Amino acid sequence: MVYNLPCYNYASSELKRRCGSSRCGPYSELKVSILGFAQRCRTLVCDLACTHSVLMQQCGWSTGMRAFRLLLDYTRTQVSTWMRETAINMKRSISQIIPQSCSRLFCERFDSRNCTYIPAS
């Protein structure tokens, strides 16, 4: 995170201008349901795609990609956690509740056509 702070700081005004609720929102409270998860993941995918573009443009490929990867990994961890906890609470397997828009977070280039989601243990 510390290594990425200069990039985030430099890109912050452009990120605020181009990404977030003005492009991908509106943001609302997460509804604990398959439809709620699907909507949240669509928003996250949109935010990440926009963030990727801005970080590459503002920070250069190497630094921007490192900064983006940290955000992507953090997002994947968050989504995996709420999906896993929900699956346990619903007494279902995670593959029964994960919407396609969420599986896109775990595929390169946000493309789910050839993606198999393997949750962390």
What b/e string do you get for 70-79 counting C-beta neighbours within 10 Å, with b at 16 or more? ebbeebbeeb
pTM for the model: 0.83
Q: How do residues 61-109 score in pLDDT, each as one tens digit?
A: 999 999 999 999 999 999 989 888 888 888 888 777 788 888 888 876 5
Q: Scan for tokens 């492009």, then name that residue.
A: 23
